[in-house]
Amino acid sequence: MKDQNFWHGIHVVCGFSSVGKSEYIRHLLTTPGPFLDATPVYEAMFGSKVRNALTSGDVFHLDISNDPSEARPNYTPDVNNHPIAAKGVFSQGITSVDFLIVPERILRERIRRRAKFSDDINLQRPDRAYPSAEKLRVLDTCPLVSRYSVWMDYFEARNVQIRYINSGNRSYREIAGRQSAQKILRNEDSFFDLLEHETRVALRRVRTFF
Protein backbone atom coordinates (compact mmCIF):
# COMPACT_ATOMS: atom_id res chain seq x y z
CA MET A 1 0.00 0.00 0.00
CA LYS A 2 1.47 3.35 -1.00
CA ASP A 3 1.36 6.11 1.65
CA GLN A 4 3.92 8.49 0.19
CA ASN A 5 2.45 11.80 -0.97
CA PHE A 6 -0.98 10.74 0.28
CA TRP A 7 -1.07 12.28 3.73
CA HIS A 8 -0.10 15.84 4.50
CA GLY A 9 -2.51 17.19 7.13
CA ILE A 10 -5.44 15.64 9.01
CA HIS A 11 -6.10 12.01 8.12
CA VAL A 12 -9.35 10.14 8.94
CA VAL A 13 -9.77 6.38 9.31
CA CYS A 14 -13.47 5.82 8.70
CA GLY A 15 -15.79 2.85 9.05
CA PHE A 16 -18.46 1.02 11.00
CA SER A 17 -17.75 -0.32 14.47
CA SER A 18 -15.56 -3.47 14.47
CA VAL A 19 -14.35 -2.97 10.90
CA GLY A 20 -10.81 -2.71 12.30
CA LYS A 21 -10.11 1.03 12.65
CA SER A 22 -7.99 0.93 15.83
CA GLU A 23 -5.84 -1.93 14.59
CA TYR A 24 -5.39 -0.21 11.24
CA ILE A 25 -4.35 3.04 12.95
CA ARG A 26 -1.75 1.10 14.93
CA HIS A 27 -0.56 -0.36 11.62
CA LEU A 28 -0.18 3.13 10.11
CA LEU A 29 1.67 4.47 13.15
CA THR A 30 4.13 1.56 13.34
CA THR A 31 4.88 1.02 9.64
CA PRO A 32 7.80 3.00 8.15
CA GLY A 33 6.31 5.88 6.21
CA PRO A 34 4.68 9.29 6.64
CA PHE A 35 2.37 8.24 9.50
CA LEU A 36 5.14 7.28 11.96
CA ASP A 37 5.02 10.67 13.69
CA ALA A 38 1.24 11.05 13.52
CA THR A 39 -0.96 11.49 16.59
CA PRO A 40 -3.91 9.11 17.01
CA VAL A 41 -7.13 10.87 18.01
CA TYR A 42 -10.34 9.12 19.09
CA GLU A 43 -13.91 10.34 19.42
CA ALA A 44 -13.89 9.67 23.16
CA MET A 45 -11.25 12.38 23.54
CA PHE A 46 -13.80 14.99 22.45
CA GLY A 47 -16.38 13.75 24.94
CA SER A 48 -13.83 13.90 27.78
CA LYS A 49 -12.56 17.31 26.58
CA VAL A 50 -9.04 15.98 26.03
CA ARG A 51 -9.51 17.43 22.54
CA ASN A 52 -11.74 20.11 21.07
CA ALA A 53 -10.22 20.24 17.58
CA LEU A 54 -8.18 18.30 15.06
CA THR A 55 -4.78 19.62 13.99
CA SER A 56 -2.27 18.84 11.27
CA GLY A 57 -0.54 15.55 12.00
CA ASP A 58 -3.62 13.88 13.52
CA VAL A 59 -5.03 10.51 12.49
CA PHE A 60 -8.69 10.49 13.54
CA HIS A 61 -10.70 7.36 14.37
CA LEU A 62 -14.21 7.92 12.96
CA ASP A 63 -16.93 5.42 13.87
CA ILE A 64 -19.89 5.90 11.53
CA SER A 65 -22.08 3.66 13.71
CA ASN A 66 -22.37 6.49 16.26
CA ASP A 67 -25.63 8.17 15.29
CA PRO A 68 -28.17 8.96 18.03
CA SER A 69 -30.92 9.56 15.47
CA GLU A 70 -30.93 5.94 14.25
CA ALA A 71 -33.81 5.07 16.60
CA ARG A 72 -36.20 7.40 14.76
CA PRO A 73 -38.85 5.93 12.43
CA ASN A 74 -37.86 5.86 8.75
CA TYR A 75 -34.23 6.48 9.65
CA THR A 76 -31.81 7.50 6.92
CA PRO A 77 -28.10 8.09 7.62
CA ASP A 78 -26.87 11.68 7.67
CA VAL A 79 -23.36 12.95 8.41
CA ASN A 80 -24.80 15.87 10.38
CA ASN A 81 -26.39 13.46 12.88
CA HIS A 82 -22.98 12.25 14.05
CA PRO A 83 -22.08 13.60 17.54
CA ILE A 84 -18.66 14.79 16.38
CA ALA A 85 -20.15 16.62 13.39
CA ALA A 86 -22.14 18.74 15.84
CA LYS A 87 -18.83 19.93 17.31
CA GLY A 88 -17.67 21.23 13.93
CA VAL A 89 -14.78 18.78 13.75
CA PHE A 90 -15.35 17.88 10.10
CA SER A 91 -14.97 21.49 8.96
CA GLN A 92 -11.39 21.64 10.25
CA GLY A 93 -9.30 20.95 7.18
CA ILE A 94 -9.42 17.17 6.81
CA THR A 95 -7.14 16.33 3.91
CA SER A 96 -7.34 12.55 3.46
CA VAL A 97 -9.53 9.58 4.38
CA ASP A 98 -9.17 5.81 4.46
CA PHE A 99 -12.50 3.96 4.32
CA LEU A 100 -12.12 0.48 5.81
CA ILE A 101 -14.18 -2.07 3.90
CA VAL A 102 -15.37 -5.63 4.59
CA PRO A 103 -18.53 -7.48 3.51
CA GLU A 104 -21.47 -7.01 5.86
CA ARG A 105 -21.53 -10.74 6.67
CA ILE A 106 -17.95 -10.54 7.99
CA LEU A 107 -18.66 -7.35 9.92
CA ARG A 108 -21.64 -8.98 11.63
CA GLU A 109 -19.51 -11.92 12.71
CA ARG A 110 -16.85 -9.60 14.14
CA ILE A 111 -19.46 -7.67 16.10
CA ARG A 112 -20.97 -10.88 17.51
CA ARG A 113 -17.59 -12.15 18.69
CA ARG A 114 -16.18 -8.91 20.07
CA ALA A 115 -15.93 -8.69 23.86
CA LYS A 116 -14.31 -5.34 24.69
CA PHE A 117 -13.69 -1.86 23.36
CA SER A 118 -10.20 -0.99 22.19
CA ASP A 119 -7.85 0.15 24.95
CA ASP A 120 -6.85 3.05 22.71
CA ILE A 121 -10.39 4.42 22.59
CA ASN A 122 -11.49 3.97 26.21
CA LEU A 123 -8.36 4.97 28.06
CA GLN A 124 -10.19 5.34 31.38
CA ARG A 125 -12.24 2.12 31.09
CA PRO A 126 -10.32 -0.35 28.92
CA ASP A 127 -12.33 -3.34 30.19
CA ARG A 128 -15.76 -1.93 29.36
CA ALA A 129 -17.85 -4.56 27.61
CA TYR A 130 -18.55 -4.07 23.93
CA PRO A 131 -22.30 -3.65 23.19
CA SER A 132 -22.60 -6.27 20.46
CA ALA A 133 -26.40 -6.43 20.53
CA GLU A 134 -26.68 -2.65 20.26
CA LYS A 135 -24.25 -2.44 17.34
CA LEU A 136 -26.08 -5.20 15.49
CA ARG A 137 -29.35 -3.32 16.01
CA VAL A 138 -27.77 -0.16 14.58
CA LEU A 139 -26.45 -2.18 11.65
CA ASP A 140 -29.99 -3.38 10.94
CA THR A 141 -31.46 0.13 10.69
CA CYS A 142 -30.28 0.64 7.09
CA PRO A 143 -28.10 -1.09 4.48
CA LEU A 144 -24.42 -0.88 5.36
CA VAL A 145 -23.58 0.44 1.90
CA SER A 146 -26.07 3.31 2.38
CA ARG A 147 -24.45 4.32 5.65
CA TYR A 148 -21.01 4.33 4.05
CA SER A 149 -22.24 6.14 0.94
CA VAL A 150 -23.32 9.30 2.78
CA TRP A 151 -19.81 9.62 4.19
CA MET A 152 -18.25 8.92 0.81
CA ASP A 153 -20.42 11.66 -0.69
CA TYR A 154 -19.48 14.03 2.12
CA PHE A 155 -15.73 13.69 1.72
CA GLU A 156 -15.83 13.55 -2.08
CA ALA A 157 -17.70 16.88 -2.11
CA ARG A 158 -14.82 18.40 -0.13
CA ASN A 159 -12.14 17.19 -2.54
CA VAL A 160 -10.53 15.08 0.17
CA GLN A 161 -8.05 12.43 -0.96
CA ILE A 162 -9.76 9.06 -0.49
CA ARG A 163 -8.61 5.47 -0.37
CA TYR A 164 -10.72 2.35 0.12
CA ILE A 165 -8.90 -0.30 2.15
CA ASN A 166 -9.65 -4.00 2.50
CA SER A 167 -9.57 -4.59 6.26
CA GLY A 168 -10.53 -8.24 5.92
CA ASN A 169 -6.95 -9.12 6.86
CA ARG A 170 -3.78 -7.35 7.92
CA SER A 171 -2.41 -6.92 4.41
CA TYR A 172 -4.62 -3.80 4.06
CA ARG A 173 -4.71 -3.84 0.28
CA GLU A 174 -6.17 -0.81 -1.45
CA ILE A 175 -9.46 -1.41 -3.27
CA ALA A 176 -9.76 0.05 -6.76
CA GLY A 177 -12.30 2.79 -6.19
CA ARG A 178 -15.69 3.48 -4.69
CA GLN A 179 -17.71 1.17 -6.91
CA SER A 180 -15.59 -1.84 -5.99
CA ALA A 181 -15.81 -0.92 -2.30
CA GLN A 182 -19.59 -0.72 -2.51
CA LYS A 183 -19.74 -4.16 -4.14
CA ILE A 184 -17.91 -5.60 -1.15
CA LEU A 185 -20.18 -3.82 1.34
CA ARG A 186 -23.20 -5.29 -0.45
CA ASN A 187 -21.91 -8.82 0.22
CA GLU A 188 -21.11 -9.42 -3.45
CA ASP A 189 -18.78 -12.15 -2.27
CA SER A 190 -17.32 -13.15 -5.62
CA PHE A 191 -15.53 -9.79 -5.79
CA PHE A 192 -14.29 -9.98 -2.19
CA ASP A 193 -13.19 -13.61 -2.59
CA LEU A 194 -11.16 -12.63 -5.67
CA LEU A 195 -9.50 -9.84 -3.69
CA GLU A 196 -8.66 -12.24 -0.85
CA HIS A 197 -7.29 -14.81 -3.31
CA GLU A 198 -5.02 -12.21 -4.88
CA THR A 199 -3.78 -11.24 -1.41
CA ARG A 200 -2.97 -14.85 -0.50
CA VAL A 201 -1.12 -15.36 -3.78
CA ALA A 202 0.92 -12.20 -3.22
CA LEU A 203 1.84 -13.29 0.33
CA ARG A 204 2.94 -16.72 -0.91
CA ARG A 205 5.18 -15.04 -3.47
CA VAL A 206 6.79 -12.92 -0.74
CA ARG A 207 7.42 -15.99 1.45
CA THR A 208 8.91 -17.88 -1.50
CA PHE A 209 11.17 -14.96 -2.36
CA PHE A 210 12.57 -14.72 1.18
Q: Which of 78-92, 103-117, 123-137 has the highest mean pLDDT?
A: 103-117
For the chain, domains (ranges, CATH) are 10-209 (3.40.50)
Question: Which residues partner with 164 through β-bridges?
Answer: 99, 175
Report whether pLDDT(97) > 50: yes
Confidence tier at 200 by pLDDT (50, 70, 90): low
Confidence tier at 40 by pLDDT (50, 70, 90): very high
For the ranges 11-20, 100-109, 191-200, the lowest mean pLDDT is seen at: 191-200
Confidence tier at 87 by pLDDT (50, 70, 90): confident
- For 79, residues 6+ apart whose C-beta sits below 8 A from its C-beta are 85, 90, 150, 151, 154
Look at residue 93 in the predicted model and tell me its pLDDT. 84
Confidence tier at 121 by pLDDT (50, 70, 90): very low
Q: What is the mean pLDDT of residues 82-88?
A: 82
Return d(Cα 171, Cα 195) in angstroms, integer.
Answer: 11
Q: What is the mean pLDDT of residues 51-72?
A: 88
Look at residue 104 in the predicted model and tell me its pLDDT. 92
* 17, 174 contact by CB (below 8 A): no
Report whether pLDDT(129) > 60: yes
